[in-house]
Amino acid sequence: MSFATTPSAAAPALRPGLSCRFTRAILRRPAATIARGLRAEDLGDPDLVRFERQHADYRAALEAAGLAVTLLPPLDDYPDSVFVEDAALCLPGLAVALRPGAPSRRGEAAALRPDLEAAFPDVLDLPEAARIDGGDILVTDREILVGLSARSDAAGAEALARVLAPYGYALRRTGTPPGVLHLKSDCATLGGETVLATPRLAASGCFAGYRVIETAAGEAAAANAIRVNDRVFLAAGFPRTAERLAAAGYDLAVLDLSEAAKLDGGLSCLSLRFSG
């Protein structure tokens, strides 16, 4: 189950570093209503004060990795808005306002759009009927993978392919493992031709042609990592996966994200990372 767009001859080709070389990031502070956020499993309500502290540590880690961070105010009308990545896709010089699949999150992209317009020369929109979360979009150095899930549908993937085709981006559609919220719940790009993935996603064959580092047994949640320039951010609590990444030569920043995890959140969804 896949498709691709044919890059335009006039558009720039994907290049090394697209997936991990960044200069800027956009974050949004957690809302006071964060305890009303969506979750697949009840692990208890997140503690707002602890969440804010962990969010500040995350911001500091991005800055230490060389990024200039824009911190947006909280949106109390949207409890999940701290997971800002689901509302937009950011590429060099270009942003796409997405259409989150959960009804309670449908206004987040519109609220974010003025900030996208301030940061990007081009901001594109998808049709109203499309449904696609940023958590289902994995950008590698050679293509963009879109995972179909409960939050992202074929119409959303096809709409994204159409708006990006003139810019030369190749898209490929894939599935997500049963019961997994987002594609990036189970994978991350590590730059070049390497990805981190859970064994169940790696077994699907969607990463044929890539070098795959698998998460350790019992540590599937470690797959939601991010590479930021020369550092790989990993959530705390996954020591064997950390050992595998360190043995592969990656410089790790391990962060406590216990409160985000209570709302099915992780490292990738807390920021929009881009160059420019």
* Among 116, 123, 81, residue whose Cα is nearest residue 102: 81
User: From CA 232, how far away is CA 226, in angstroms rounded?
Assistant: 6
269 assigned to active site: yes
Q: How far is Cα 173 from Cα 105, in angstroms, rounded to an integer? A: 23
Cβ(141)–Cβ(193) under 8 Å? yes
Active site residue 182: yes
CA dist 105 and 85 (Å) reads: 12
90, 187, 206, 269: the active-site residue? 269
**Residue from 20, 55, 90, 182 carrying the catalytic annotation:** 182
**CB under 8 Å to 160, separation ≥6 — which residues?**
89, 96, 98, 126, 130, 132, 137, 144, 146, 171
What are the start-end ranges of the E strands in the chain?
Answer: 24-28, 68-72, 88-91, 94-97, 122-125, 137-139, 144-148, 171-175, 187-189, 194-197, 211-214, 226-228, 231-235, 251-255, 272-274
- Indicate the length of the chain as a whole number: 276
Residue among 162, 70, 158, 81 nearest 116 (CA): 70
Q: Which residues are catalytic?
A: 182, 269
